[in-house]
Amino acid sequence: MHAKHTTSSHPSDSSGALPRRALLGALGAVAVTGAVSRPAAAAGSAIASSRSASASAAYVLLSRQAWGADESLRFGPDGSETWPPDYHPVQTLSVHHTGSANGEANPAARVRTIYRDQTVGQDWGDIGYHYLIDAAGLVYEGRWSGTDGDPAHNAAGRLVTAAHIATYNSGNVGIALLGTFTTSAPTSAARGALVQLLAELATRHSIDPLQQKVGYVNPVNGATWSGPAISGHRDWAATACPGGVLHAQLPAIRADVAALMG
């Protein structure tokens, strides 16, 4: 979660993949550098009409360059990375909200604000999430993971450790929806992109979205946790994140992810 309502540890945690969707394009004043997209994952006929918004449209991913990440913030005065990346196999997927205003006119500016706050203000070396999703359903590449062109992963397909749930970061994918979902729900576009992204990641990493008892073990510090394969931040810690309304939607979201995976 955004520092406004959460505390996360730094990246070290010391205390057949589906094709990616990507848009290396412009947002605001950022220059266009090209675009790549792909169709949605195949959805079975069992998907109910009430789920059509979640299952129909493929998501679009904005690169760090596209949303205007200032990469110099990740480095100290001596030119070294504040928190050098490390990588581990994915064990679980976690959903957050950022605690910011809903429906902001310039979501890329919000992502840049969160990035600066968490990288410099919180001293986490980079943004704490692997992915962020705005109200229009655009997905933003989060934590820097290398130069291989695979967001959140290294060339071997392992997840870069981020900083979104204190003590439980390594091997834990963090996805944050921009906004506050304590009393209001995400837009259908944001929810649809979340389902698409979760389905892609779950397929890629052989995760059962309906599994209720995953035995997570942090490979760095040995911390253990047991809970849903797709969880909310509050399932891990005493926090309001990802908001009561969004958290209450997670069972239906897990079902939509499973249906989309076929």
Range of the domain at 216: 49-261
If phi over 0 gives left and psi between -120 and 50 gives alpha, with beta otherwise, what is residue 213? beta
pLDDT at 9: 45
pLDDT at 177: 98
- Tell me the per-residue pLDDT of 87-108, one tens digit each, with 9 for 90 and over: 999 999 999 999 999 999 999 9
Amino acid present at 243: G
Cα separation, 16 vs 206, in Å, equals: 9
1 in a structural domain: no
Cα separation, 147 vs 107, in Å, equals: 25
Hey, what are 91's tokens?
């064990």
233 in a structural domain: yes
Place of tokens 């510090």: 221
Residue segments in the chain with a per-residue pLDDT below the cut of 70: 1-57
84 in a structural domain: yes
CB 33 within 8 A of CB 66: yes
Terminal alpha carbon distance of the chain = 31
Cα separation, 110 vs 113, in Å, equals: 5
**Which of 174, 179, 147 lies closest to 64, judged by CA?**
147
**Which of 24, 13, 16 lies closest to 216, judged by CA?**
13
67 in a structural domain: yes
78 in a structural domain: yes
**Which of 37, 195, 72 lies closest to 144, judged by CA?**
72
35 in a structural domain: no
Q: How many residues does the chain have?
A: 262
Residues 95/101/102/108 CA torsion (nearest 10 deg): -80
**Which of 139, 94, 144 lies closest to 118, judged by CA?**
144
141 in a structural domain: yes
pLDDT at 14: 52
CATH of the domain at 186: 3.40.80.10
236 in a structural domain: yes
pLDDT at 105: 97
193 in helix, strand or coil? helix
Q: What's the total number of domains in the chain? A: 1
pLDDT at 13: 64
The H or E element spanning position 189 is: helix 188-204
CB 128 within 8 A of CB 140: no
- Tell me the per-residue pLDDT of 154-189, one tens digit each, with 9 for 90 and over: 999 999 999 999 999 999 999 999 999 999 999 999
